[in-house]
Structure 1
Amino acid sequence: GLGAPERHEGVRLDIEGLLAAFKEKNSVRFEAFSKVFADLKMSAIFAGRQTTAELLEFEEHLLQLCASYMMSVKSEDAAEFLEKFDPN
């Protein structure tokens, strides 16, 4: 049968949605990222935490999740992507 969902599974899905929407912009500019972040209402990601301890646990998980995405990018892929935006 189906197991119980991971405690913070929704956060992973939100981050994946943010990344997918930003990639669609085909930009490396903060302005584009900021617009996607606002459009998806990502600032609400911290809402609903009942205690400071719960908020800290959530933030720790969020940082670990974001770090895992940063570490998973191959340097060749990142360099190739950034070359598209090199003004020279």
Structure 2
Amino acid sequence: MRYLVLLALAAVTGCIGDDEDAKGSATCDPAAFAFLVGQPKSALDGVLTPETVRVMNMTSPATMDHRPDRLNVIHDDDDTIIKVTCG
């Protein structure tokens, strides 16, 4: 019985993907999204973005954790995108 448990555990361990696959790209290129600056926030709807995107108002509080894979899209009170950064 103990061997069956170990065998099942080994089989499940083989199904776990690489950690890099789960995170996606480790870097972000803000220049690729510079065309969004000046556009309404709704322009993001048709854009293929990195897996992690943070859209926020320029006056909103935000965490200070640095995530190189995260795209930050900052907009003003009129919902116009004013800045695109990574981190």
Same topology, TM > 0.5 = no
Larger Rg: 2
Normalising by the residue count of structure 1, what TM-score does the alignment of the two structures yield? 0.24
Give the number of the structure whose residues are more often helix, by fraction.
1
Normalising by the residue count of structure 2, what TM-score does the alignment of the two structures yield? 0.24
Give the number of the structure whose residues are more often strand, by fraction.
2
